[in-house]
């Protein structure tokens, strides 16, 4: 987790006895024991100052989503010609309800990953969101080749410099079973050779975003397991606030409360204490975070954290990294379980029908997880639509296909987020993905004519911005 983690200037904590009239749209409810709950953006609360606009536009947000080891483009792409998106390939079928929000791409290559030292996984990871060529270094990849970190800033960190200054956290970097501290295990960079490690523990994220900031970790874990809620400590103020706002904001508050309670329920279950009050009170240990059986629950918990952080304007830029390029994960939580590791499945031969079938099941599950993310964003009302209408989500992968280690025709999926058209299937002839990343930065108002490796920039992808 990175970024400025202090409160913005001018924000004043509200005590349990403070009158609700003092609250402003971006305030935090505080209660007994130091507990705090960040509020979603509420239009009907008083302005913090005369300078704050009376009709505040929903913030611009960016979310990076990473899954490993490529896909099967023949089952991913639509069967129709490029243009308006009217159907999805079988592997993307869970995303059908969100077709109008999606942009799918053919012919976009990780050309920066075709250069530099190291193996394809190392180079693909380093360039995916940076557009930069990997540096020289001493990290040994799976094929024995050595490389260093990425050679530039990632798109999330650049955009955070422009849209994240007003939020307590410039960005959130979250992970699910991200175990390797090496180039094939990092997607976000503050600059050249400056990787940002993701936080794997949703309980730690919860404590930072919603818990009592001075509460010991063991107390947070105990409270979660006993099914008590941080909302209980601020309940009096919360109920009073509901009476002060209009019906639209009241619905937003209720949805927010439901979301926080669902987070707490899920985190308590992750701790393995599904019973009553007499369960052991040990905190969640790190080893449990990397359990294969917990992978799905942790991934969904991290998504819930991001959506709640967006709703409360705790941050406007986030990333979720699902595993790493090593991907030593058996999908034992699926029914029936997948017995082989994800990395080896993606590298299995095309004629091995059994292993290819298992790989397709894992790819379909990742699409379902992405659909869960879009669903959660769509459930938060905002402005004249939902949070999904105001969030750019970029789903990327370090390879196109695992068993060929192909770095061309990467399966990028992008939501428009109100900053660019969507509902499209776009096809190109071997263009550098730098042009895609540049277009996204410009959509966020960043004044730039290049991103990543300078020699791979040729302007914004044709038609991306409309």
Q: What is the pTM of this model?
A: 0.81
Phi, psi at 301, each rounded to 5°: -65, -40
- Give pLDDT, residue 217: 64
- Give pLDDT, residue 15: 26
Query: What is the number of structural domains in the chain?
Result: 1
Give the CATH number of the domain where residue 50 resides. 3.40.720.10
| Within a domain: 26 | yes
| Within a domain: 60 | yes
Q: How far apart are CA 197 and CA 301, in angstroms?
A: 18
Q: Give CA 190 to chain center in angstroms.
A: 17
Q: How far is CA 335 from CA 114, 352, 364, in A?
A: 38, 21, 13
| Within a domain: 15 | no
| Within a domain: 395 | yes
- Give pLDDT, residue 7: 34
- Give pLDDT, residue 225: 58
| Within a domain: 9 | no
Q: Which domain holds residue 412?
A: 20-456
CB atoms within 10 A of CB 37: 24
| Within a domain: 2 | no
| Within a domain: 13 | no
| pLDDT tens for the chain, residues 1 to 466 | 444 333 333 332 222 223 333 344 445 555 544 455 666 666 665 544 434 444 568 899 999 999 999 999 999 999 999 999 999 999 999 999 999 999 999 999 999 999 999 999 999 999 999 999 999 999 999 889 999 999 999 999 999 999 988 788 999 999 999 998 999 999 999 999 999 999 999 888 888 887 654 556 666 666 555 555 655 655 566 677 777 777 777 777 777 777 766 666 666 656 543 333 233 333 444 557 889 999 999 999 999 999 988 988 889 999 999 999 999 999 999 999 998 999 999 999 999 999 999 999 999 999 999 999 999 999 988 888 999 999 999 999 999 999 999 999 999 999 999 999 999 999 999 999 999 999 999 999 999 999 999 999 989 999 999 8
Nearest Cα to Cα of residue 182 among 147, 156, 145: 147
- Give pLDDT, residue 192: 97
Residues near 336 by Cβ (< 8 Å), separated by ≥ 6? none
| Within a domain: 464 | no
């Amino acid at each position: 987790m990175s970024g400025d983690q202090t409160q913005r200037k001018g924000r004043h904590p509200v005590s349990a006895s403070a009158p609700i009239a003092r609250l402003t749209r971006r305030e935090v409810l505080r209660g007994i024991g130091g507990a705090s709950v960040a509020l979603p953006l509420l239009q009907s609360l008083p302005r913090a100052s005369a300078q704050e606009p009376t009709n505040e536009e929903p913030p611009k947000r960016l979310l990076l989503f990473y899954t490993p080891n490529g896909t099967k483009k023949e089952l991913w792409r639509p069967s129709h010609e490029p243009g308006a998106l009217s159907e999805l390939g079988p592997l993307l079928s869970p995303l059908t309800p969100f077709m109008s929000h999606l942009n799918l791409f053919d012919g976009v290559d990780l050309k920066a990953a075709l250069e530099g030292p190291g193996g394809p996984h190392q180079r693909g990871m380093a360039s995916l969101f940076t557009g930069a060529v990997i540096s020289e270094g001493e990290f040994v990849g799976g094929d024995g080749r050595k490389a260093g970190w990425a050679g530039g800033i990632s798109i999330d960190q650049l955009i955070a410099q422009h849209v994240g200054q007003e939020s307590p956290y410039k960005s959130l970097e979250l992970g699910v079973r991200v175990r390797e501290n090496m180039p094939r295990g990092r997607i976000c960079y503050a600059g050249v050779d400056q990787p940002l490690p993701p936080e794997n523990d949703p309980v730690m994220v919860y404590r930072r975003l919603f818990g009592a900031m001075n509460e010991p970790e063991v107390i947070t874990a105990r409270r979660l397991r006993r099914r008590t809620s941080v909302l209980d400590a601020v309940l009096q103020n919360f109920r009073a606030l509901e009476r002060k706002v209009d019906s639209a904001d009241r619905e937003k508050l209720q949805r927010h409360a439901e979301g926080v309670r669902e987070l707490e329920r899920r985190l308590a279950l992750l701790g393995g204490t599904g019973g009553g009050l007499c369960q052991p009170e040990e905190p969640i240990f790190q080893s449990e975070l990397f359990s294969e059986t917990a992978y799905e629950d942790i991934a969904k918990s991290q998504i819930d954290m991001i959506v709640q952080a967006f709703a409360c304007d705790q941050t406007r830029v986030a990333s979720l990294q699902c595993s790493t390029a090593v991907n030593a994960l058996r999908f034992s939580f699926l029914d029936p379980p997948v017995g082989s590791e994800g990395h080896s499945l993606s590298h299995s031969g095309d004629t091995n029908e059994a292993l290819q079938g298992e790989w397709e099941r894992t790819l379909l599950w990742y699409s379902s997880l992405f659909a869960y993310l879009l669903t959660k964003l769509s459930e938060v009302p905002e402005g004249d639509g939902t949070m999904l209408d105001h969030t750019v989500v970029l789903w990327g992968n370090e390879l196109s296909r695992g068993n060929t280690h192909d770095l061309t025709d990467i399966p990028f999926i992008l939501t428009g987020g109100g900053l660019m058209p969507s509902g499209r299937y776009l096809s190109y002839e071997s263009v550098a993905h730098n042009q895609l990343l540049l277009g996204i930065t410009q959509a966020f108002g960043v004044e730039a004519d290049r991103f990543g490796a300078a020699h791979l920039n040729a302007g914004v992808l044709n038609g991306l911005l409309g």
